[in-house]
Structure 1
Amino acid sequence: MMWRVLRPLDPYRSVKAALGWLVIISVAITTLLILMAYRSDIGLQVIAIIAIIASLLVTQFVAHSLATPVLEMTSAARAMARGDYGRRVRVARRDELGDLALAFNRMAADLQAADQHRKELIANVSHELRTPIAGLRAVLENVVDGVSEADPTTMTTALRSTERLGRLVEQLLDLSRLENGAVPLQPRGFQVEPYLSAVLNDATVALRRGHARTDVRFRLDVTPGGLRAHADPERLDQVVTNLVDNAVKHSPRNGQVTVVARAGQQTGGLVLEVLDEGPGIPHAQRELVFERFGRGTTNGVTPRDGGTGLGLAIARWAVDLHGGTIGVAESRRGCRIRLTLPGNAQANT
Structure 2
Amino acid sequence: MTPRPGTGLRPFSIKTKLGTLVVVSVFITTGLLMVALRTETELRFITVFSVIASMLITQFVAHGLTAPLDEMNTVARSISHGDYTRRVSGTGRRDELGDLAVTINRMAEDLEAVDRHRKELVANVSHELRTPIAALRAVLENVVDGVSAADPETMRTALKQTERLGGLVETLLDLSRLDNGVVPLRARRFEVWPYLSGILKEAGLAAGRRRLASGSGNAARADVHLHLDVFPPELTAHADAERLHQVVANLIDNAVKHSPPHGRVTVRARRGDLQGSLVLEVLDEGPGIPEAERHRVFERFNRGSATGGDGGTGLGLAIARWAVGLHGGDIGVAESSRGCRIRVTLPGVPKAAG
Give 1:257 deviation, angstroms.
Answer: 0.7
Question: Would you say 1:219 and 2:220 are equivalent positions?
Answer: no
Paired residue for 1:314? 319
**16 and 280 in structure 1: CA distance in 2 versus 1, 3 angstrom threshold:** farther
**198 and 38 in structure 1: CA distance in 2 versus 1, 3 angstrom threshold:** farther
Question: Would you say 1:246 and 2:254 are equivalent positions?
Answer: yes
**21 and 187 in structure 1: CA distance in 2 versus 1, 3 angstrom threshold:** farther
Paired residue for 2:147? 152
Secondary structure of the residue that 1:277 maps to in structure 2?
coil
What does 1:225-240 correspond to in 2, within 5 Å?
Answer: 231-240=239-248
Question: Would you say 1:276 and 2:284 are equivalent positions?
Answer: yes
Matched letter for residue 345 of structure 2: T
TM-score (norm 1): 0.65
Looking at structure 1, the residues matched to 237 and 225 of structure 2 have their Cα atoms a distance apart, in angstroms, of 31
Q: 2:175 aligns with which of 175, 178, 203?
A: 178
What is the percentage of aligned positions where both structures have the same residue? 50
Matched letter for residue 37 of structure 1: A
What does 1:73-152 correspond to in 2, within 5 Å?
Answer: 73-91=72-90, 93-96=92-95, 97-105=97-105, 107-108=107-108, 111=111, 150-152=145-147
Moved more, 120-129 or 172-181: 120-129
Question: Would you say 1:210 and 2:217 are equivalent positions?
Answer: no
Give 1:217 deviation, angstroms.
Answer: 1.7
Looking at structure 2, the residues matched to 118 and 101 of structure 1 have their Cα atoms a distance apart, in angstroms, of 26
Give 1:19 deviation, angstroms.
Answer: 4.2
Paired residue for 2:28? 29
Looking at structure 2, the residues matched to 343 and 203 of structure 1 have their Cα atoms a distance apart, in angstroms, of 20
TM-score (norm 2): 0.64
Paired residue for 1:5? none
**70 and 285 in structure 1: CA distance in 2 versus 1, 3 angstrom threshold:** same
Question: Would you say 1:323 and 2:328 are equivalent positions?
Answer: yes
Residues 94-152 of structure 1: per-residue CA shift (max 9 Å, x gap): 2242343344345446656766787798799999999999xx8xxx9xxxxxxxx9442
Looking at structure 2, the residues matched to 120 and 334 of structure 1 have their Cα atoms a distance apart, in angstroms, of 29
Paired residue for 1:301? 308
Looking at structure 1, the residues matched to 126 and 240 of structure 2 have their Cα atoms a distance apart, in angstroms, of 33
Secondary structure of the residue that 1:185 maps to in structure 2?
coil
Secondary structure of the residue that 1:239 maps to in structure 2?
helix
Paired residue for 2:4? none
Give 1:276 deviation, angstroms.
Answer: 2.5
Looking at structure 1, the residues matched to 238 and 21 of structure 2 have their Cα atoms a distance apart, in angstroms, of 64
**322 and 33 in structure 1: CA distance in 2 versus 1, 3 angstrom threshold:** farther
Paired residue for 2:270? 261
Looking at structure 2, the residues matched to 281 and 334 of structure 1 have their Cα atoms a distance apart, in angstroms, of 8
Paired residue for 2:337? 332
Looking at structure 1, the residues matched to 278 and 145 of structure 2 have their Cα atoms a distance apart, in angstroms, of 49
CA RMSD of aligned residues (A): 4.8
Looking at structure 1, the residues matched to 115 and 191 of structure 2 have their Cα atoms a distance apart, in angstroms, of 41
**256 and 281 in structure 1: CA distance in 2 versus 1, 3 angstrom threshold:** same
Residues 199 and 241 of structure 1 are in contact (CA less than 8 Å); yes or no, is this contact kept in structure 2?
no
| Unmatched tracts of structure 2, length 5 or more | 1-10, 151-159, 209-221
Secondary structure of the residue that 1:216 maps to in structure 2?
strand
Matched letter for residue 311 of structure 1: G
Matched letter for residue 281 of structure 1: I
**343 and 165 in structure 1: CA distance in 2 versus 1, 3 angstrom threshold:** closer
Looking at structure 2, the residues matched to 324 and 123 of structure 1 have their Cα atoms a distance apart, in angstroms, of 24
